């Protein structure tokens, strides 16, 4: 992704190589997920040496990789050039589809009460290349496991899936950080992922806690990218206690921004709702949520809470979640229940980096 194409072109000119070599290198890296120049069999030995010495296709490297017991989920701590670390999660389902959850910042300033990342504060923004490189890294890893990784998912223990895709089926910017507090970089990164890795906008999702100016700007970008909004409660006090930025961008402003987005883009908005026992999971909460949602093009994702050590929150029981979901569905609201994957590897955002500094 961070192929410095100008630098590569200079190397080609200096070594007397034809300019079309750049296309060959692009194909190796972006299409085939190969980042080791020595393995690029159609390049001369001298060119491989020079490229390997001067060009780094990836701006990050794997520090830690944890795989869940059922082998469906990988959680990676990634080391950046300045020693900072971020997280990425790769989730596979039984059909062989793969979702990748990537980060947009090192740490996060928002400080959501249920989030491990928020407990550590913000360190810095990621560059567009650092954001996009997470997707390239996922492609490199998926390429290496095609046909070889067998896994089970959740309770479907009798069925065994296997990695089939070399491109992530979905990319979600929902890892460490608030994407709309690093707006320009995420828009550039989406463009890089779209153009260079050829992943269509419909397979890309930006997830925000509700940064109203970001939602309004995003609505006018003319991108075919999905928007997800972490709602978690429509009670102002409860939401502020979970997401402090609700005081800055209260629910009426958030709703107006989302409705404006829907009106301009005619795209569905995904509302994320983490199910916390006794906090936001009563049937009255479900009724209030149904009443709050924009009438058109709303989709709710209910998420079972992945408990952070020493957290004040507990996950809602499966029975409560099922009842909550039924209330929404009975009102005609499309609602998906997200099953937690990788509970055994701290798959919730921020947990791996906070744990022993990611080592
Ligand atoms: S949930 Fe997202 S926005 Fe909230 S603190 Fe964690 S990383 Fe930041």
Per-residue DSSP letters for 258-309?
HHHHHHHH---EEEEEEEBTTTT-SHHHHHHHHHHS-SSSEEEEEEE--PPT
Give the tens place of pLDDT for each residue, 292-331.
Answer: 999 989 999 999 987 766 778 999 999 999 999 999 999 9
Ligand 1 pocket test, pick from 87, 114, 118 with the greatest ligand atom count within 8 Å of Cβ, gives 118
Please count the CA atoms within 13 angstroms of the CA of 339 that sit on its side-chain side. 12
For ligand 1, atom 4, which residue shows the shortest CA distance?
112
Is the Cβ atom of 178 under 6 angstroms away from ligand 1?
yes
Clarify whether 263 is annotated catalytic: no
Question: In this predicted structure, what is the pLDDT of residue 163?
Answer: 63
CA distance 103 to 124: 12
Q: What is the dihedral angle through the alpha carbons of 298, 302, 308, 314, rounded to the nearest 10 degrees? A: 130
pLDDT tens, position by position, 182-212? 999 999 999 999 988 899 999 999 999 999 9
pLDDT > 80? residue 118: no
The span from the first CA to the last CA of the chain, in angstroms, equals 26
Given the residues 87, 130, 178, 272, the one annotated as active site: 87
pTM above 0.85, yes or no: yes
Confidence band (pLDDT; 50, 70, 90) for 162?
low
Report pLDDT for 349. Answer: 56
Cα–Cα distance for residue pair 92/317, rounded to 1 Å: 24
Q: Please tell me the distance between residue 111's alpha carbon and the centre of ligand 1 in angstroms.
A: 6
Element (H, E) at 53: helix 45-54
Chain position carrying tokens 């928007």: 227
d(CA 237, ligand 1 centre) in Å:
18
Reported as a single tens digit per residue, the pLDDT across 25-77 is 999 998 888 899 999 999 999 999 999 999 998 999 999 999 988 888 999 99
């Amino acid at each position: 992704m961070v192929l410095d194409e100008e630098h590569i072109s200079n190397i080609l000119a200096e070594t007397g190589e034809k300019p079309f070599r750049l296309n060959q290198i692009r194909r190796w890296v972006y299409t085939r997920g190969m980042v080791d120049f020595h393995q690029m069999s159609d390049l001369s030995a001298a060119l491989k040496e020079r490229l390997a010495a001067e060009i780094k296709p990836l701006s990050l490297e794997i520090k830690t990789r944890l795989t869940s017991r059922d082998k469906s989920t990988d959680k990676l701590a990634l080391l950046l050039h300045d020693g900072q670390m971020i997280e990425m999660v790769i989730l596979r389902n039984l059909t062989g589809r793969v979702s990748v959850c990537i980060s947009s910042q090192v740490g996060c300033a928002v400080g959501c009460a249920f989030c491990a990342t928020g407990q550590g504060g913000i360190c810095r923004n990621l560059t567009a290349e650092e954001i996009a490189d997470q997707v390239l890294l996922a492609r490199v890893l998926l390429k290496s496991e095609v046909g070889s990784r067998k896994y089970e998912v959740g309770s479907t223990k009798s069925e065994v899936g296997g990695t089939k895709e070399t491109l992530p089926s979905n990319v979600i910017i929902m890892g460490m950080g608030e994407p709309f507090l690093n707006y320009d970089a995420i828009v550039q990164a989406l463009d890089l992922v779209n153009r260079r890795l050829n992943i269509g906008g419909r397979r890309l999702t930006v997830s925000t806690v509700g940064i109203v100016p970001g939602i309004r700007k995003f609505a006018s970008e003319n991108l075919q990218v999905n928007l997800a909004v972490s709602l978690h409660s429509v009670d102002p006090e409860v939401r502020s206690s979970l997401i402090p930025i609700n005081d800055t961008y209260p629910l009426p402003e958030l709703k107006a921004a989302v409705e404006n987005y829907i009106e301009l883009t005619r795209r569905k908005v995904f509302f994320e709702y983490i199910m916390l026992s006794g906090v936001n999971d009563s049937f009255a909460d479900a009724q209030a949520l149904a009443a709050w949602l924009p009438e058109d093009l709303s989709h709710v994702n209910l998420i079972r809470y992945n408990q952070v050590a020493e957290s004040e929150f507990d996950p809602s029981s499966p029975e409560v979640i099922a009842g909550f979901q039924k209330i929404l569905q009975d009102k005609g609201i499309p609602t998906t229940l997200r099953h937690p994957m990788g509970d055994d590897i701290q798959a919730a955002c921020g947990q791996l980096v906070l744990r022993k500094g990611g080592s």
